[in-house]
Chain A
């Protein structure tokens, strides 16, 4: 195909801020976030939609941003790990992960937080099994998941109280 591939104009709202960019159609959403917007908290850990390090929310649902093109996110509302903390401080999940040592190298953490957040938004008091199923598509190579599960429980408890 020798023709010129047109860049596509897109508008995306990320963490409450709207961006307009012109992108190559093949640009993955995760690359868009990292390279175009400088939001490097969302990571790439595999290429086959296994590890979940790139998990973000699109219109409130957790998605793997390495398995979406940026053009598909045109007009959508995204939340990344950078959007979790507010002026009031860290999200309860962020606090709980630190408090309960739910992270070591930190590479999977943003994706893990976003998957966990999706769970707590619809199930304020999940069981161990529900947490495990929720993060089944997020690989962590450091923690053995034990403290991640503990952290999600702790955050759930804090969110229930507040």
Chain B
């Protein structure tokens, strides 16, 4: 945040006298109203301590104040920088002195840039308070410069006033224009008060008790598992497709989940991270001595130390981005606010936090780049090794654009559209417990939801084999893609553990850290869009230039440069498309995958384009969709992707019926007649699942990724238990339940309560591949296909052992449940054998086993690999995804004319994700994705100021959507089975961001008479107000009609 102030006043003392005071730091600094003490660094630079405070809370802040310019007796200018609570600032304070008779006219000006969480205090309403403080200050300055003023009187007056305002810390800044006292200069000045507590610690912390748990560990007994899943299929012939209660719930509703922070042990150490308050700054020096001296602190780690013991992470993208030196901590400069600068490890999390406050880092601010549009100019280069901020460029061109535009009946041009920054902010933040033991093995208990990638990133950087790394998860408090890129934090924790000889190090991000640096969803700007339409309102061609803002490090993000093209034409049948796609580095939090990753930006763009065209042509939103929808499936898109199945027209009809479209249209007519802003908007979206990693090669032909895979191991344990382990990493999607359903259907007769599915993943279970994880809506297809394959293999083995044991043919055998659990029997006979005995034959009592059972282990592993080809990289042509779920939403909103709140009056959701494995879980995903979209459209935004400060770095400012903000959803679903998955299912977890399209459309419709174009995804009341009042960047649309025929 930058603030500038200026003014002038006259004092009745000669100019030289005023100058002498103003140009001598030793005389000048003690005049600050909040002065505490000072020392001189050299003759021009003073280190000044000032008292700061919020309300009744006081502290001391240090400022380094340098007399930068002194033109006797005309001008004095100070430059200062320092730390304030929760942030930092730079300032310039200048005085120009003019003679006015025997008096002196003092013209003053001040500029300050502020950084850090202090700005989000009270919502960042800094300026108003700053102004009132300055006014007060200048008043007292004038008073003090009057010759009659006695020093003592001023001191007394200050003490009586005892300013307690929040913005007293601003006095620390603006106090530099404080009144010169007519007193002799002092070399070392200190107030008489006790030095306030800059460092306050427990000399001897209370003895830490070894944890005595009052609850049993989270492991579930078999009865609890049995209790946890519903055993009633409600008439459904198979377990798949039944509305089953989830297995996971039993522990979670009891508070017996095991999230990373729940794991505790008495010898565990705790890591806290010191983060940069600057968006872009050079690190001048780091002093950890005070922090390390604190009792209970074990060690610290700086970026320089980390860089000396590891290699930079691999970069997915090609040059120039490939040249980035990507370390988990800033080494020589910081490039986003919240970037780790120093790590502190201590015996308790509280001591670590205390020590983090004692780390002194000296920065020199550099010019920040805060938008992709600014980044284009390369005025300030963020990664010197790259030499540019332009991380990636590619042209995606299909069809014949020139011809389509030549033949168009209408051409619509849209100069700029913008998709804002937000993320799903899972309620549990990034976290891990890392142990780098003396054997050289690294164990992570983590929240990372894509460990396969995390390990591939970390192993080469840390110089270990992938097999030295073990990642395990248990319960994860949501991810929505955001936790895929937590490996930098994991790396820091691991290096700390190694430095400490293998002790466990726990790293838990705070919410503030998570919002600052835990990963933001991608921001995109769409420039110079041109749309060709035929006379019927069918879009025939689109060309456009897209600027993607990936924040400070590309990390996973270059993939986003291709992933959007999975949905290139959205739901429309146009064949001519040209997108000039660019990705830029900025001084903002690195972007990460976020629910609907990279596709929802593009889908919003396409839907916005469609609605803007409809508006231009005077065509209703349902009608223009009917004319543009793809209607035949499988459908090959212009870039070679294959939409497996769907029926968008039917979804539209269902949604309109559910809403009562005609009734609402009538109500809208009435409302408009009354001058009310009531709008109806439709959003159609796609959720492409199980992607083809060969898209990485579109980004970088050398990328060693293609296809996809997922793993399940399934075994019959020594005790006859059926145990599944997955490579997927659930964070609330019910994988344990869905897996049990699939296995139970294969072992028909054995109920899902007897299928034990390990919670979370563990790479030590050997159930993972290079693609394992939970992302990109792929569990229902990729994950469950692996489960299904494993179940079929296990079934075959069980039948072979059963036939041998019961001396029967495999055809005669039937699975079922008996007193000893799962069993095989020959119906109509007394031949029966429980799984426990089958396992006994193979595993513990196997002498004399016949040769036909030599290969049987009752411990099978199945890897599912969807059939993908490597695309034609030159043309960027080929299939990038296996399944395409769809959603269609309709919203009715009314915008209040005073508050500009777009109140949602009605909201309809229709989804189609093919065959539903568990309708309860599908419904939950649909609801959740809708809430994320509505939250993003109305409330949630990562708002940066021009200095690169994140102004929404607490939940109180970011305001994740609450129950009070949610409309009641009217939901319906249809099933268009996918021909490409074994069971007709499609991935559906991401949802596709339909509320963003829908709300933009509805707000646009509501404001139809206002001559504004909704050009931004963020539709908060303030955004709508600004749109209507011409603030910020406007979107301009032109329409050229050539319908001569």
Contact = CB atoms under 8 A, between A and B. Distances in A.
Please say whether the chains A and B touch (CB closer than 8 A): yes
Interface in A48-67: 48-51, 53
B885 interface: no
B575 to A, nearest CB: 37
B348 to A, nearest CB: 9
B764 interface: no
A120 interface: no
B206 interface: yes
Nearest to B923: A101
B702 interface: no
Interface string A1-22: 1111101000000000100011
B928 interface: yes
Interface string A28-55: 0000001111111111111111110100
A36 B964 contact: no
A103 interface: yes
Contacts of B253: 81, 90, 94-95, 97-98, 103, 106, 109, 113
A43 B245 contact: no
A148 interface: yes
Contact of B426 (A90, A105, A109, A110): A105
A82 interface: yes
Contacts of B959: 50
A143 B255 contact: no
Nearest to A113: B253
Interface string B904-945: 000000000000000011011001111110000000000000
B510 interface: yes
A106 B248 contact: yes
A24 interface: yes
B470 to A, nearest CB: 23
B476 interface: yes
B478 A50 contact: no
Contacts of A44: 261
Contacts of A71: none
A147 B921 CA distance: 11
Interface in B201-220: 201-206, 209, 211-215
Interface centre among B350, B427, B969, by most chain A C-beta atoms within 10 angstroms, is B427
B437 to A, nearest CB: 25
Contacts of A48: 511, 954-956
Contact of B955 (A51, A110, A144): A51
B930 A128 contact: no
Given A135-B963, A142-B732, A145-B931, A50 B249 contact: no
Given A109-B252, A136-B963, A136-B964, A39 B214 contact: yes
B955 A38 contact: no
B214 A17 contact: yes
A139 B955 contact: yes
B881 interface: no
Given A38-B212, A101-B923, A133-B964, A80 B255 contact: yes
A101 B477 contact: no
Given A98-B245, A141-B425, A39 B211 contact: no
A8 to B, nearest CB: 9
Given A4-B202, A46-B954, A82-B215, A141 B255 contact: no
A140 interface: yes
B427 A81 contact: no
B969 to A, nearest CB: 6
A6 to B, nearest CB: 9
Interface string B400-427: 0000000000000000000000001111
Contacts of B426: 105, 107, 141
A148 B927 CA distance: 11
A146 B694 CA distance: 38
Contacts of B921: 101
Contacts, number: 220
Interface string A144-156: 1111110000000
A157 interface: no
Contacts of B734: 104
Interface in B947-969: 954-956, 959-960, 962-964, 966, 968-969
Contacts of B213: 38
B924 A147 contact: yes
Contacts of B966: 132, 144-146
A28 to B, nearest CB: 10
A106 B511 contact: no
Interface in A66-101: 80-82, 84-85, 90, 94-95, 97-99, 101
B426 to A, nearest CB: 6
Nearest to B203: A4
B202 A24 contact: yes
Place the interface of chain B in its size category: 35 or more
A45 B157 CA distance: 45
Given A98-B249, A135-B963, A143-B924, A40 B255 contact: yes
Contacts of B254: 41, 81-82, 84-85, 90, 94
Contacts of A107: 257, 259, 426-428, 475, 477-478
A36 B930 CA distance: 39
Nearest to B429: A45
B893 to A, nearest CB: 18
A49 to B, nearest CB: 8
Contacts of A147: 923-924, 927
B192 interface: no
A118 interface: no
A120 B211 CA distance: 34
A65 to B, nearest CB: 13
B960 A103 contact: no
Interface in B472-520: 475-478, 480, 510-512
Contacts of B256: 41, 82
Contacts of B36: none
A142 B255 contact: no
A159 interface: no
Contact of A98 (B201, B204, B250, B956): B250
Contacts of A22: 206
B960 A139 contact: yes
Interface string B728-741: 00011110000000
B960 A141 contact: yes
Nearest to A7: B206
A46 B512 CA distance: 8
A136 B252 contact: no
A104 B204 contact: no
B284 interface: no
Nearest to A151: B253
Interface centre among B209, B256, B923, B963, by most chain A C-beta atoms within 10 angstroms, is B963
A11 B3 CA distance: 51
B264 interface: yes
A105 B428 contact: yes
A117 B197 CA distance: 43
A142 B211 contact: no
Contact of A40 (B197, B206, B262): B262
Contacts of A49: 956
A107 B258 CA distance: 10
Contact of B969 (A21, A113, A146): A146
Interface of A: 1-5, 7, 17, 21-24, 26-27, 34-51, 53, 80-82, 84-85, 90, 94-95, 97-99, 101, 103-110, 113, 128, 131-133, 135-149
Given A43-B477, A139-B960, 18 more contacts: A1-B201, A2-B203, A40-B215, A43-B259, A45-B511, A50-B955, A82-B255, A94-B254, A103-B252, A105-B427, A105-B476, A106-B251, A106-B477, A113-B253, A141-B478, A142-B928, A143-B928, A145-B966
9 contacts: A39-B255, A40-B259, A105-B426, A105-B731, A107-B427, A141-B480, A144-B932, A145-B963, A147-B924
Interface of B: 197, 200-206, 209, 211-215, 228, 245-246, 248-259, 261-262, 264, 350, 424-428, 475-478, 480, 510-512, 731-734, 920-921, 923-924, 927-932, 954-956, 959-960, 962-964, 966, 968-969
